[in-house]
Each structure stands twice: as C-alpha cells, then as structure tokens.
Amino acid sequence: MKSLSLKDAMFLGFCAVLMIAARAALRLHLKIPGHSMLFTLFFLLLARGCVRNNLAASFTALLAGIMALILGMGKGGPLILIKYLLPALVVDAMAVVLADSLFQSMLLCMLTAILAASTRFLSDSAMDVLAGMEFSIVVRHAGLQTASNVVFGSIGALGVPAVLRKLRAFGAIEPS
C-alpha cells in the first residue's frame, strides 16, 4: 500500500464508509436476507475499478470490516471481518485475471459478483457450525443465505460499468 496516493486512499476510505452507511440504513427489518450485499459488492467493485492497486477492494473491505466491528454491526464478532474480506479477495483476484475488461462489461461484473457473493456460504456456515447447529440445517441455511446474497450482489454489480464510464468521462479517474 506504499504506492497508494492520498487521493486513492481517501477514495477507498469513502467507499468503505458508504458501504457501512448503506448497511446501517438497510438495518430496517426488511425480512430479506442478503440485501446488504447489493451495496457491498457495488462499492467493492467500484473501489477496485477506480483505484489501480491489486489490493484496493481488500483494503476497502478491511476498513469496512473494522468499522463494522467497532460499531457492533452484525453477528459474529471478529468473524465479521471474514464476511467483508472474502468477497473482496475474489474481486481483487478477478480484476487481476480479467484486467480492464472486467469493468467494461456488465456480464463480467455480474460473474465476479456471483463468485464474490458465493463466499458468504463459507462465513455463514462457519458461524452456524460454531453456534452448534446440525450439519443438514447448516447447509440449508447457508445455501439459502448465499442464494439471496448472489441475487442482490449481481444486481449491485450491474451499475458499476456505467458509473465508471461516467467517472472517466468527467475526468475523476484516469482512462484505462
């Protein structure tokens, strides 16, 4: 992170704050599991698309996870960091593999969001196992949560290419 400019670091910090603010705003009792993944993946993809650093999404997720931990958001205590970091690692990996074509294609952004949201199966099942649930219930519960996360995450990823095009057109970020 030494090569990260102040402008880029502040942008990643703002993405993390907006991710937490959206999560706090969606703490309403909507009774829809996974709805916070919409903004989580939107801001993770946006952070990685704007900042040319291989760990931009992971740094954003780390900041958001620390803020969520300090504010006591969610269940799981320190394990909440995993909920943020696993999808971010997938976003960073896909950005390295697909390079600039990822942020120009809605389909590739959706594919990345689907893979990133699928990592919630691991964190949800780990928390359920630690709570002492039976294995068959753990698989069903984590599977249902993951399916909902995938739907909302892929919806959130749809807007990323358009936002990045607008930011490039206005000169807010460098052209790719």
SS (H, E, C) 16-84: HHHHHHHHHHCCCCCCCCCCCHHHHHHHHHHHHHHCCCCCHHHHHHHHHHHHHHHHCCCCCHHHHHHHH
Q: What percent of the chain has pLDDT over 90?
A: 61
With beta carbons less than 8 A apart as the criterion, state whether 88 and 112 touch: no
Q: Is the pLDDT of residue 1 over 60?
A: no
Q: What is the tens place of the pLDDT at every residue in 42-83?
A: 999 999 999 989 999 999 999 999 999 999 887 777 888 988
Structural domains in the chain, CATH included, are: 6-169 (1.10.1760.20)
Say what the pLDDT of residue 15 is.
95
Give residue 103's Cα distance to chain centre: 15
* Cβ proximity of 4 and 53 under 8 Å: yes
CA gap 133, 56 in Å, rounded: 35
This prediction has a pTM of 0.92
Q: What integer best gives the mean pLDDT of the chain? A: 90
Segment 94-100 shows an average pLDDT of: 91
**Does residue 3 surpass a pLDDT of 70?**
yes
